[in-house]
Amino acid sequence: MLPHRLKSIYESKLHNAAWTKNRADMVPAFFFVLLNVLKITIFNFYIIPAGTVGAFLYKFAITFLLSVIVYLPIFKFRSRIFLIAFYVLQSVYIFANLAYYLFFRSYLQIAQSILLLKEGADAAGHFSIPKNPILCIVLIDLPLFIYIMFTYRKVSMLYKRLKPSGRALIAAAVLVLLLTEGYNYAFGYSLIHLAREYTDREHQIIERYGTLVNCFINYSNSSDEEKLIRNFIYGKTRSSPGRKGTPGNIVVIQVESMDSNIINKKYKGEYITPFLNSLSRENIYYPYVLSYHKAGGTSDCEFSTINSLEPLNDFPSIKLKSYMYPNSFLKVLNNHNYATAAFHGNVGSYFSRSSAYSRMGFGEFDDMMAMGLKHVGWGAPDKDVFKHAINKTAGLKQPFLTYTITMTSHGPFTNALNYYKSKRYDDVSNEVVRNYFNTFSYVDEAIKDYVTHILKNFSNTYIFIWGDHTPNINTDEYMQASFIEDSKYFEFVPLIIITPDKIRYTETKKAASFLDIAPTILEASGVPYEIKTDGINLLDFNEEGGKIPYRGRDYDRTYLYDRVAGR
């Protein structure tokens, strides 16, 4: 009896010791899952417009339950390859979505990810991803992940021993999730309810269900190109009989990342862009123009200015292969014998510009390859692009419209360092701001050379200079012109118009928008036209401007001006 009893005690101690060891092996895995849940929660919490403690705790709890359902089955595999694959994909997904949100203040969707794969790769290849400490959250669980990789065999064996308990945990997690969704449904904010009002409640879907669920809902709404095209909202019909005389030439300069505030920004008592500042004082100047900077990135600028049409929120409008641009002002000009040409210091395949520009109505489009230029940093230097534009314009018949898109000032604003360096900004503490100031010092010089040439060699010519979007800089040393309201991101750029008779005017009360560009250019040309637009003629300072449509709502122009100007 005694030996048998001693044996039982010994085996019991062995079992307890093994269980104690198993529990010790569980601790790193448990804390890895907790940190992973925290990472996902912080990621989702950061990109919702007005997070609360309650929303954070709700998201953490739901994510934890989902992680139980996901990780327990993964741990049952002997091979660690499944865990590695899942972790890497998850980290890349979080990083890509955060980087996209930091720049566009909107959400990356499946359709965008597929269509903009090349553009994203180009941006990454030229180190154009925004720098922000929040991106480091993808690393918070990395040390424990590495540790688990070395001890994975123990974790996997432990799961097998706890298989019945694991199944029970998964079943319990599924039950709690179902009960939670039932509760949400009863009170009218389940996934079914939110999806019905997707446009207005996208951020609530992300807050409660995450970006992946939001992606699938968006994809189901975006898979039909014809349906997307039907979503465009054209404005009311606007027409003009034209005016007598020779139609005016139009020269457009679209400046990459030129924010409203850079025009009047001084450093050590001197303007960073002295030439642009002088133009703003001596010509027509609209300091705050609402930019449409959505799923199509910079290309949304051309899309909205040329077509006087708000681009789609969650799909790059310029990538619509079957859209024929019926509202393009270029087609009106072409019908009145204008020569139309575009120049861009990047490759034409970027955002499918080569194809889209032809359908918009450009007679010619020279990308950097057609110009015989090479990447210096990312894209060709602006001075080289302007030099090509000058040479090409000399051979165009009049009247003409040229549309030049710059590239030097693309974020992270390091391109100019390859060929221009001003010591004036060496003591600017923030590196991004320092590079931004240096870049626009160069851009200002490039625009000065180009504009001076145009004014000297072409009479009866209107010159339009505007930015495409803000630079994503909000620091003590430089604060861009933007704000967030109604869960929407508003960003503003400047517009300078040089007229043949050198009219002077500065708008001090109302914001303009990209939708105003097309009717203004058509009025400047003097040709008869008919166009659908919610824009106004910015050359008529007495025209009563209607409200500006933006992401499903109409905004008062005076309100937008006061809001961004900080009045």
User: What residue numbers does the annotated binding site for substrate cover?
Assistant: 410
Question: How far is 493 from 259, CA to CA, in rounded Å?
Answer: 5
Question: How far is 567 from 565, CA to CA, in rounded Å?
Answer: 6
Query: Is residue 398 packed enough to be buried (19+ CB in 10 Å), middle (13-18) or exposed (0-12)?
Result: middle
Which amino acid would we find at residue 432?
V
Which amino acid would we find at residue 458?
F
Question: How far is 328 from 542, CA to CA, in rounded Å?
Answer: 25
Residue numbers in the known binding site for Mn(2+) are 256, 298, 468-469
Query: Which of 6, 533, 39 lies closest to 304 in space, CA to CA?
Result: 533
Q: Go through 516-550 and write b for each residue having 16 or more CB atoms within 10 A of its CB, e for each that does not.
A: bbbbbbbbbbbbebebbbbbbbbbeeeeebbebbb
- Name residues whose C-beta falls within 8 Å of residue 463's C-beta, 6 or more positions apart in sequence: 251, 252, 253, 451, 454, 455, 496, 497, 498
**3-state secondary structure at position 19:** helix
3-state helix, strand, coil in the chain (%, to 5): 55, 15, 35
Q: Go through 440-465 and write b for each residue having 16 or more CB atoms within 10 A of its CB, e for each that does not.
A: bbbbbbbbbebbebbeeebeebbbbb
Alpha helices in 408-477 (DSSP H): 431-457
Residue numbers in the known binding site are 256, 298, 410, 468-469
* C-beta separation of 543 from 319 below 8 A: no
Question: How far is 114 from 121, CA to CA, in rounded Å?
Answer: 11
Q: Go through 97-133 and write b for each residue having 16 or more CB atoms within 10 A of its CB, e for each that does not.
A: bbbbbbbbbbbbbbbbbebbeebbebbeebebbbeee
| CA 538 vs CA 154, 286, 427, 515, 516: distances in Å | 71, 9, 40, 11, 7
CA 179 to chain centre: 37
Question: How far is 351 from 353, CA to CA, in rounded Å?
Answer: 5
Tokens 């807050």, located at residue: 207
* C-beta separation of 433 from 414 below 8 A: no
Query: Which of 350, 346, 364 lies closest to 319 in space, CA to CA?
Result: 350
**3-state secondary structure at position 325:** coil
Which amino acid would we find at residue 269?
G
The question of whether 298 is a catalytic residue gets the answer: yes
Catalytic residue (choose from 298, 414, 439, 470)? 298
Helix (H) or strand (E) holding 226: helix 225-230
Q: Any idea how long the chain is?
A: 567
Sign of the four-CA dihedral 295, 296, 297, 303: negative
Which amino acid would we find at residue 441?
S
Q: Indicate which residues carry an active-site annotation.
A: 298
